[in-house]
């Protein structure tokens, strides 16, 4: 027992020193698909901005690391992590059991749900099931697409960018869009060209947590980021970021 305790203390000391060394010298490259406002997007000055960007910058500051963001298309974002093009992903990634089997996640840093948006001319639809026989759009590879595909009789149409789904709905080519609540609010309630055309219906029908994704087994980086997340939440910095970006 004494030997085990001694080894455990030594292991903890080594892990602590390793993390400290990591924090002192490491700059991490992080991928984000900046087409998902207000969480991540490109502003008028071609700068990547949004909730996730501010949040990770705050986390990095608390953890003592520098961050470089890389705008990466969603359909290749996980492959890029696999091949080592970057160290982590922050891109409104829902923590799921399927994804956890392939990647490691930090603690959840915010919670959201999927919700349905339809044209204001639709006076009856409240759920995806109400759109049987019609087309519902979502971004490919997202939990929104997973939810649409669960409903028999609804045709799922997927897009590389969620904004394209809203463009198609504005043109009458699809009858609804499913996406995360903050994104729905941005497009349906705030975007000037859409706020008179679309409405959010019903309530969020999933409960999901976003996490930062790293390669499987990279506990050092996960622990470092979790340290930063805890500090950001303890200091209520996350509340200020939420107020800034999520209306």
Summarize pLDDT for 203-245 with one digit per residue, the tens: 999 999 999 999 999 999 999 999 999 999 999 999 999 999 9
Asked if domains 2-111+210-245 and 114-201 share a fold, the reply is yes
Q: What is the CATH number of domain 2-111+210-245?
A: 3.40.190.10
Measured CA to CA, the distance from residue 215 to residue 82 in angstroms comes to 7
Residue 123: how many CA atoms within 13 Å on its side-chain side? Answer: 0
Specify the residue for token string 């799921």.
Answer: 96
Residue spans per domain, the chain: 2-111+210-245, 114-201
Reported as a single tens digit per residue, the pLDDT across 137-162 is: 999 999 999 999 999 999 999 999 99
Q: What is the pLDDT of residue 104?
A: 98
Indicate the pTM of the whole model: 0.83
Architecture of domain 114-201: 3-Layer(aba) Sandwich (3.40)
């Amino acid at each position: 027992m004494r030997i085990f305790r001694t080894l455990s203390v030594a292991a903890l000391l080594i892990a602590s020193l390793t993390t400290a060394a990591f924090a002192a010298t490491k700059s991490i490259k992080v991928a984000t698909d900046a087409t998902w406002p207000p969480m991540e997007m490109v502003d008028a000055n071609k700068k990547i901005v949004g909730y996730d960007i501010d949040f990770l910058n705050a986390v990095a500051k608390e953890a003592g690391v520098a961050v470089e963001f890389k705008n990466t298309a969603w359909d290749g974002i996980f492959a890029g992590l696999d091949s080592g093009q970057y160290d982590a992903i922050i891109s409104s990634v829902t923590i799921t059991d399927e994804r956890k089997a392939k990647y490691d996640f930090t603690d959840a840093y915010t919670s959201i749900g999927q919700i349905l948006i339809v044209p204001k001319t639709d006076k009856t639809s409240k759920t995806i099931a109400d759109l049987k026989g019609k087309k519902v759009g979502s971004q490919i590879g997202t939990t929104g697409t997973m939810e649409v595909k669960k409903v028999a009789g609804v045709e799922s149409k997927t897009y590389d960018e969620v904004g394209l789904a809203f463009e198609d709905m504005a043109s009458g080519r699809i009858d609804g869009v499913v996406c995360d609540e903050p994104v729905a609010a941005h497009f349906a309630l705030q975007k000037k060209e859409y706020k008179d055309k679309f409405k959010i219906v019903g309530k969020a029908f999933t409960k999901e947590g976003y996490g930062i994704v790293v390669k499987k087994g990279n506990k050092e980086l996960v622990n470092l980021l979790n340290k930063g997340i805890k500090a950001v939440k303890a200091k209520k910095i996350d509340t200020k970021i939420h107020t800034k970006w999520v209306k």
